[in-house]
Amino acid sequence: MRINQAMAKTAGVTEGSHVHIIASPGRIVIDLATKEPTLEEMLAAFDPEFHGGELMAFVPAGVEIP
């Protein structure tokens, strides 16, 4: 399906974007298809430098359990 550049930019679609098309009498609706990433895709995107480390790297301040 072809749409003009201004519409594509506004909608956030690019060449090869996956869409859902719903047709009903007098109406056509095109929505971007959202896809949940697979485990393999999430693991491939994991960066230990960015995502690694402790979440709460601070000295205990009270009666936390060690």
Query: Could you give all domains of the chain from N- to C-terminal order, each with its CATH number?
Result: 5-51 (2.10.260.10)
**pLDDT given at position 5:** 92
What is the rounded CA–CA span in Å between residue 24 and residue 26?
A: 6
**pLDDT given at position 23:** 93
**Tens digit of each residue's pLDDT (9 = 90 or more) over 38-59:** 899 888 888 877 777 666 667 7
Cβ atoms of 18 and 33 closer than 8 Å: yes
**pLDDT given at position 53:** 63
What is the rounded CA–CA span in Å between residue 63 and residue 50?
A: 30
**Tens digit of each residue's pLDDT (9 = 90 or more) over 24-37:** 999 999 888 877 77
Phi, psi of 53, rounded to the nearest 5 degrees: 95, 170
Q: Beta strands 19-24 and 27-32: pairing type?
A: antiparallel
